[in-house]
Chains A and B, each alone.
Chain A
Amino acid sequence: GAVVSQHPSWVICKSGTSVKIECRSLDFQATTMFWYRQFPKQSLMLMATSNEGSKATYEQGVEKDKFLINHASLTLSTLTVTSAHPEDSSFYICSARAEQGHNGYTFGSGTRLTVV
């Protein structure tokens, strides 16, 4: 089945530094990638929708200059958290549509970001 590989699975960084999270679709072309953030004991909150070759669409309240999304190819989307702060510590998950179908949404394994 469709697989999305997400790396790293966890990362600890210092305040003020930047962290890049990668999501790769291994056996399909992901024209659209969704990026979610999940705080402890909360649900997934959509941050942005990225489309290959075009600018990402950010949800209200998400700073596009802080969360940089690049979707330069059909198999790779990246999320860079710039100038990270402790409040950015969260679980970040990507999701891609593998096909036109009801169960076509495949999730990455998630990245646990801790900013110290």
Chain B
Amino acid sequence: GQNIDQPTEMTATEGAIVQINCTYQTSGFNGLFWYQQHAGEAPTFLSYNVLDGLEEKGRFSSFLSRSKGYSYLLLKELQMKDSASYLCAVRVYNAGNMLTFGGGTRLMVKP
């Protein structure tokens, strides 16, 4: 199976930068996804990494190191609306290429 770990909660200040880490142990790795989820809503796609390195998309960046089984999501210029849960998910090569989610990190942005 897969083992995906990320911090349970984080707090940051509006306008600051925050890094949310995710470590994973899996076989048949085929990509890592980051999703944002507000309470009571469905997850929304943020980023995808399958090769090592940094992917930047506006205020959000995601990094992957396959050899270390490590990824992080970087949020810049934090806004109050960024308060949400951030889910790390790993895709593996198997029937249907399903996603396995980590426990999620609840981020609270304070003024």
Is the pair A49, B50 in contact by a Cβ cutoff of 8 Å? no
CA distance A108 to B43 in the complex (A): 9
Q: Please, how many angstroms separate the alpha-carbon atoms of A43 and B98 in the complex? A: 15
Question: In which size bucket is the chain B interface?
Answer: 20 to 34
**Can you list 18 A-B contacts (CB < 8 A)?**
A6-B42, A34-B98, A36-B101, A42-B104, A45-B101, A46-B98, A46-B99, A46-B100, A46-B101, A49-B96, A57-B95, A97-B96, A97-B97, A102-B31, A102-B50, A107-B43, A108-B42, A109-B42
Q: Report which of B40, B48, B85 forms a contact with A112, defined as CB distance below 8 A.
A: B40
Q: Is the interface of A mostly helix, strand, loop or mixed?
A: strand
Could you tell me the distance between the alpha carbons of A6 and B98 in the complex, rounded to whole angstroms?
Answer: 19
1/0 per residue, CB under 8 A from A, across B9-47: the answer is: 000000000000000000000010100000011111100
B98 and A107 within 8 A (CB): no
Quote the shortest CB–CB distance from A15 to chain B (angstroms). 23
Q: Chain A residue with minimal CB distance to B43?
A: A107
